[in-house]
Structure 1
Amino acid sequence: MRALMLRGNDLFVTEIERPAPGPDQVLARVRACGICGSDLHFARYAEDMLRVTRRADPAGWSAMDLAQGVVMGHEFVAEVVAAGPGAEAWTPGTRVVSVPVLPDPEAPQGVHSIGYSSRYPGAYGEYVIMAAPLLLRVPDGLPDRIAALTEPCAVALHAVRAAGPRPEDRVLIMGAGPIGLLTLLWLKREGVKHVAVSEPAAPRRGLAARLGADLTLDPATEDVTARLAAAGGPPPVVFECVGVPGTLQQAMDLVGRRGRVVVVGVCMTEDRLTPMLGILKHLSVQFVLGYTRAEFAEALAALADGRIDPAPMVTRTVTLAELPAVFRALGNPEDCKVIVEP
């Protein structure tokens, strides 16, 4: 099968062996896969990410071998092609999504990460192996390119639930990429009355306004502090959804006293901040990761019934052959969510 391979620093489309499902697994044909910002960064900072991951957990990404290569892609919807022993209830043709892991009692963490494993290819290929106990059936009528957003939608839901903002809280989102915009959608769904979005790219600011932002700000040309003051004062909650050096410090500068900074963006390099500022302002800084299985299922249900409608975010679809060029562009701000349709 064809797949986008990352080997060392090289990224290329090649032919690899199609995997076969084992017990309680299915083989599924990828119908659509979202390009995650983490994948764009991993293609550039893979060694750094592996070092930090293994500092957090020596067994982290234990099946990752960059010399052997890895097929990324973890935001996907797929169609069952074949079932292994014990998974026969999942018939061919069924559209499914899943938390992107494969249980394995012999793995150090008990699972392999789909898209971050050299053993199991991710969804930047034509086929994936999925765990039958984790599968969720995609409701009829939900387009593939929207179903593929279940995973990032769950990330944003988890961040919002972790922050627990009240309806009367003024909230600032830094960054109007896919995670920032999905965070906006969940905040509005949860009843937060005033959400501001700061984003330097005009197309993405326009998307934020279209998706319900009450205030949009251009940090490159505007005094964000002054604009926020005019809108009611420093926000008590700030979501940092950018993940580049300096933005966490900016979030601490912008949030109100005794406020909360929720860090959703993944900065791949070392950063600097001023701890005394956080102490003087009595700030809480919370780093969030992933989601629960229940949140993943809730995200799919919200996409299916229209409670969350991210359709305007999908700005382009590409083929596998186009993927290397997309990665080289490293997040063109003219795009928001790019979907691969193998």
Structure 2
Amino acid sequence: MRAAIRRGPAIIVDDYELPPLQNGQVRVRTLHCGICGSDLHAVHHFEPFIDYGRRAGLLTGRIDPNKDVVLGHEFCAEIVEFGPNTEKTLKEGALVGAFAVNFDDKGAEGVGFSNRYPGGYAEYMVLTESMLLPVTNGCPSEQAALVEPMAVAVHAVNKADHGDSAYMVIGCGPIGLAIIAELKARGLGPVIASDFVAERRAIAERLGADVIVNPAEHDPHGHWIATGVPYGPTVYPRVQTQTKRAILFECVGVPGMLNALIDAAPRGAQIIIAGVCMAPDQIEPSMAINKELELKFVIAYSADEFRQTMHRVCEGELDVTPMISRIIGLDEVPATFEELLTQPRAAKVLVDPRR
């Protein structure tokens, strides 16, 4: 089968052998698969990516970076064949999403972050039947492919301590936009959205962000007072009553961004770090202490969050279509990766291996 393969620090399109079906596994045809920031990191930063996974006890720590890897874990697929000892609860032709983890006689293995199990940048995949979730209500496959990044956003929003709060999303890439969509779907706000790219700011506005800021022209933190969050010099010990709390979502993941937010955030703010910084970074703890800031780091989602997100997307409760920038074929994947790595302007790009 054809696949876009991570071979060394490059993406190439070549033939790839699909592994045989083992007990409890199914073969599926990939319909759409989203390009994720983790996939982009894996091209040129695979060794530290794997090392972080190993040190954290994640499945990604088992990859050999010197061997081929077919990335892609944000997918919707169609069942085409059942392996031995499967229950066949779903039928051939059923559309599915999945927790991107396979189980076999060697244990657990991440789909799309594996030397054995190709991800969604391939014409076909092997998945574990018990990990499948049906796509219902006639939901189009391109929308169902966004369930995974939406579940990441749902998890990040769940980690915030809501109440009488105002929100800021720094970086309107796919995860930042998904967080905006989730905040507005819950009726939360106001939401300040900040990004240098006009196309992404336009999508943030379509998703319901209340204040749109180009940080090259205006300081996004200049809008806190208008939202009711106290901002600026204060008295210590505190004699003011804080009426509204700031919650910031860091969705950029570059060195220096976290410390810049610590420096600029309102006193008592909560910062949710969803951006994945692949390099060592420095912060000034004393500044965070003086402001009594709270930092939370988040990754992925729980099984329940994934299932709930699938239901909400399929039922139309979460409108993910504004986040889709374009759909490409396998032959366009190498150039698109280079574009997203060097000049990121798109939101979510989907790969359709049938093209």
Taking structure 2 as the reference length, the TM-score comes to 0.91
| C-alpha contact 2:172 2:195 (8 A) present in aligned 1 | yes
**C-alpha deviation, 1:15, in angstroms:** 0.3
The separation in 2 between residues aligned to 1:60 and 1:130, in whole angstroms, is 16
Residues 252 and 104 of structure 1, relative CA distance in 2, 3 Å threshold: farther
Do residues 79 (structure 1) and 82 (structure 2) align? no
Answer whether contact 1:204 1:333 (CA < 8 A) is retained.
no
Q: Which residue among 217, 221, 238 is the counterpart of 1:221? A: 217
Paired with 1:199 and 1:81, the residues of 2 have a C-alpha distance of 42
- What's 2:49 paired with? 49
Measured after TM superposition, the shift of residue 228 of structure 1 is 2.7
For structure 2, the 5+ residue unaligned runs are 232-244
1:116-141 alpha-carbon deviations (Å, 9 max, x no partner): 10011111111111111111111142
Give 1:278's match in structure 2, choosing from 288, 313, 337. 288
> What SS does structure 2 have at the residue aligned with 1:30?
strand
Alignment-mate amino acid for residue 131 of structure 1:
T
Show the counterpart of 1:121. 118
Q: What residue in structure 1 maps to residue 349 of structure 2? A: 338
Deviations 1:300-336 (A, max 9, x none): 1111111110101101110001100011112544311
> Which secondary structure state, in structure 2, belongs to the residue aligned with residue 116 of structure 1?
coil
Which digits, 9 at most, give the CA deviation of each residue in 1:40-86, with x for residues without a partner? 121121112112222223x7424411212111000000000101122
Bigger radius of gyration: 2
More displaced 10-residue stretch of structure 1: 255-264 or 144-153: 255-264
Partner of 1:103: 103
Correspondence 1:92 to 2:115:
no
Q: Structure 2: how far apart are the matches of 1:122 and 1:256?
A: 42
Q: 1:231 to 1:62 in 2, by over 3 A?
A: closer
Q: Contact 1:82 / 1:91 at 8 angstroms: preserved in 2?
A: no
| RMSD over equivalenced CA pairs, Å | 1.6
Q: Structure 1: which 5+ runs fail to align? A: none
Distance 1:188 1:104 in 2: 40
1:15-56 per-position Cα deviation (integer Å, ceiling 9, x unaligned): 011232211111000000000011112112111211222222
Q: Percent identity?
A: 39
Q: C-alpha distance in 1, partners of 2:250/2:278?
A: 14
- Aligned twin of 2:25: 25
1:174/1:197 contact within 8 Å kept = yes
**Could you tell me whether the CA contact under 8 Å between 1:203 and 1:333 is conserved in 2?**
no
For residue 132 of structure 1, what is the aligned residue in structure 2? 129
Contact 1:26–1:83 (CA under 8 A) maintained in structure 2: yes
Choose which of 168, 172, 175 in structure 1 pairs with 2:168: 172
Give how far 1:105 is off.
Answer: 6.3
Q: Aligned pair 1:156/2:134, yes or no?
A: no
Choose which of 331, 339, 348 in structure 2 pairs with 1:321: 331
Matching residue's letter, 1:255? A
SS at match of 1:61: helix
Tell me the distance in 2 between the aligned counterparts of 1:254 and 1:24. Answer: 51
1:225 offset after TM fit, Å?
2.5
Distance of 1:214 and 1:231 partners within structure 2 = 10
2: distance between equivalents of 1:193 and 1:40? Answer: 31
Number of equivalenced pairs: 337
Checking the alignment, whether the CA contact within 8 Å between 1:197 and 1:205 is kept in structure 2 is yes
Does residue 14 in structure 1 map to residue 10 in structure 2?
no
Q: Deviations over 1:252-302 (max 9, x none)?
A: 233322221100110111112111111111111110111111110111111
CA contact (8 A) 2:51 2:61 kept: no
Equivalent residue, structure 1, for 2:237: none
